[in-house]
Amino acid sequence: EAQVTQNPRYLITVTGKKLTVTCSQNMNHEYMSWYRQDPGLGLRQIYYSMNVEVTDKGDVPEGYKVSRKEKRNFPLILESPSPNQTSLYFCASRGPGEQYFGPGTRLTVT
């Protein structure tokens, strides 16, 4: 079954404590990306990756890092989370046609 998985699904953390949200896809897709979704602002792209070792900034990259060492994995790293990064995060993977989304990670930074 085509799938994008994310972990954790829910996370409450404190300001400044580094965290990583993992993302994995089983479709051998080259393109992967991260989005955040906030009320009234829709989905905004954070980073994307066209292939292994190729990453680029999306619309709202400040405060985030990513890496793409393997085709299937695309973790999102918050080195020093702040309360304005409280949001719903989605990982996505795209092949020649449609884009698939992970189940989302609800992050709260206090």
Partner 1 sequence: GIQVEQSPPDLILQEGANSTLRCNFSDSVNNLQWFHQNPWGQLINLFYIPSGTKQNGRLSATTVATERYSLLYISSSQTTDSGVYFCAVMGGVSNYQLIWGAGTKLIIKP
The pairing of strands 19-25 and 4-7 is antiparallel
Residues 54-93 vs partner 1: string with x where CB under 8 A? ----x-----------------------------x-x---
Alpha carbons 102 and 4: distance in angstroms, whole number: 5
Q: Does 12 bind partner 1 (CB under 8 A)?
A: no
Span from 14-22, 37-45, 64-72, 74-82 in contact with partner 1 (CB under 8 A) = 37-45
48 lies in the site for partner 1, by CB under 8 A: yes
Positions of E strands within 8-110? 10-13, 19-25, 31-38, 42-51, 54-57, 65-66, 76-78, 87-94, 99-101, 105-109
Counting residues that bind partner 1 (by CB under 8 A) gives: 19
The number of beta carbons lying within 10 Å of the beta carbon of residue 46 is 23
Residues that bind partner 1 (CB under 8 A): 31, 33, 37, 42-43, 45, 48, 50, 58, 88, 90, 97-101, 103-104, 106
